[in-house]
Amino acid sequence: MSGMTAEMKKIKKAEQKEAKLRMKQISKENNKIIKKFEKEKKRKKVDPSEYQTTMENPDNIIEIDNLHTYFFTDMGTVKSVNGVSIEVPKGKTVALVGESGCGKSVTSLSVMKLVQGPTGQIVDGAIRYNRKGGAVDIVKTPISEMQHIRGNEIAMIFQEPMTSLNPIFTIGYQIDETIKLHRPDMKDEDIKKQTIEMLKLVGIARAEGIYDCYPHELSGGMRQRVMIAMSLSCDPQFIIADEPTTALDVTIQAQILDLLRDIKQKIDASILLITHDLGVVAEMADYVVVMYAGKIVEQGTAHEVFLNPKHPYTMGLIKSKPAVGKVVDRLYSIPGAVPNPVSMPNYCFFKDRCDKCLAKCNGDIPELRYISEDHKVACHLYDSKGGK
């Protein structure tokens, strides 16, 4: 008995040693790649012509084109976003749906160029942003220029209102700061006036009182309103809402969704809504994008995707959500779990969890293709249909 354990210990030790060696090798290679990207990022003088571009469709506010964002970790390269293309038309809401870890948040952070470096890098692709003075490619835009865009033209509402406000500054100070940064020629009184107006806009009744409050004095719903007010304070054209209601109760969620819809109409902005709650999507979105393991599996208008889902993953997601008023004996559940992000299979990522597998699914990764005018699916089931 004891002899065997000693033997096993030996094997285990050898394995550990090998793993360590492999890790070292990978990190060495990663360092080389990362250095290249960081050097590119740190360049001081970048000619505007380098990042200027033209929109494919001038009616879009954002065009994400074949975006690849990778994380170079010591365990291997994680392809968080692996060839994602999304268009956000002006004045519309596009929802990005998927499980945790599917790359929805990384996509949105890429748009803001806030991906955690140096491990996280935008490797390939373009993000065309329809700026007022002419379109730019965010991927190539230098940080100094991005600072004028971030929070000013493109705003982001983060998931956790509890952690994204600074606990040691007053609400008023934190919103003032944003405005001060982007509108340096404004007077202090005007800034305060604007802040209070913003707080009123998001439905905070006692705006003057709240101005001097600290974040801990407010409830979760109020904090989320403050976050929204902050993101709206510079009249953004484009709002990224990263799970804006996930941390909130249903009744408060209803208030916030109502508010978002209202505000969108008032300031005529476009929204990229990131969520895993299909109910929220159905209510808010004009277009839906379903992501799975870094790739888009289905894309279309909200009507098409909800009423006529094509990809087995989308169908599973819709079926596995219990709905009030619909009694089922057993909930449908998608078997298994998301594959390991470091070693992705070279066939359809969903194959191992899919109940509609064909022989073809062992082959190439299916491409995203049109099955009708406003509906795209990446699945071999629909190879014969469409393909326009």
Partner 1 sequence: MSENILEVKELKKYFPIKAGVIQRVVGHVKAVDGISFNIKKGSTFGLVGESGCGKTTVGRTLLRLQESSGGSVMFDDKDVFKLSNKQLRAIRPDMQLIFQDPYSSLSPRMPVGEIIGEGVREHNIVPKEEYRSYIMSIMEKCGLQPHHIDRYPHEFSGGQRQRICIARAIALKPKVIVCDEPVSALDVSIQAQIINLLKDLQEEFGYSYLFISHDLSVVEHISDEVGVMYLGNLVEKAPKEELFKNPKHPYTKALFSAIPVPDPTVKMNRIILEGDIPSPANPPSGCKFHTRCQHCMEICKTVAPEYRDYGNEHFVACHLYDNE
CB of 224 to partner 1, least distance (A): 11
- Alpha carbons 273 and 239: distance in angstroms, whole number: 8
Name residues contacting partner 1, limited to 66-125 (CB under 8 A). 99-100
Listing DSSP states for 246-309 in one string gives: TTS-HHHHHHHHHHHHHHHHHHT-EEEEEES-HHHHHHH-SEEEEEETTEEEEEEEHHHHHHS-
276 lies in the site for partner 1, by CB under 8 A: yes
Place of tokens 């990229």: 272
Q: Does 306 bind partner 1 (CB under 8 A)?
A: yes
Dihedral sign, CA of 108, 112, 115, 116?
negative
Among 252, 315, 357, 365, binds partner 1 (CB under 8 A): 252
Q: Which of 254, 343, 360, 363 binds partner 1 (CB under 8 A)?
A: 254
* CB-count burial class (<10 Å; 0-12, 13-18, 19+) for 325: exposed
Residue from 5, 49, 251, 384 binding partner 1 (CB under 8 A): 251
255 binds partner 1 (CB under 8 A): yes
Query: Is 316 a residue that touches partner 1 (CB under 8 A)?
Result: yes
CA angle 380, 94, 315 (to 5 degrees): 35
Q: Does 234 bind partner 1 (CB under 8 A)?
A: no
Rg (the chain; Cα; Å) = 23
Q: List the one residue out of 165, 159, 177 whose CA is nearest residue 104.
A: 159
Total of residues contacting partner 1 (CB under 8 A): 45
Binding range to partner 1, per CB under 8 A, among 32-40, 114-122, 318-326, 380-388: 318-326
- Comparing CB distances to partner 1, the nearer of 167 and 325 is 325
For 235, counting Cβ atoms within 10 Å of its Cβ (0-12 exposed, 13-18 middle, 19+ buried), the class is: middle
Q: Which string of x and - marks every residue 327-346 that binds partner 1 (by CB under 8 A)? A: xx-xxxxx--x---------
In the bound state with partner 1, the residue whose beta carbon lies nearer, of 149 and 207, is 207
Instruction: Kindly state whether residue 324 participates in binding partner 1, applying the rule CB under 8 A.
Output: yes
Among 302, 348, 379, 381, binds partner 1 (CB under 8 A): 302
Choosing from 83, 91, 279, 386, the residue that interacts with partner 1 (CB under 8 A) is 279
Reference 351, options 319, 385, 378; nearest CA is 378
CA atoms within 13 A on the CB side of 301: 6
- Which residues are 86's β-sheet partners? 64
What residues make contact with partner 1 under the rule CB under 8 A?
Answer: 99-100, 219-222, 249-255, 257-258, 276-283, 285, 302-303, 306-307, 316-318, 320-325, 327-328, 330-334, 337
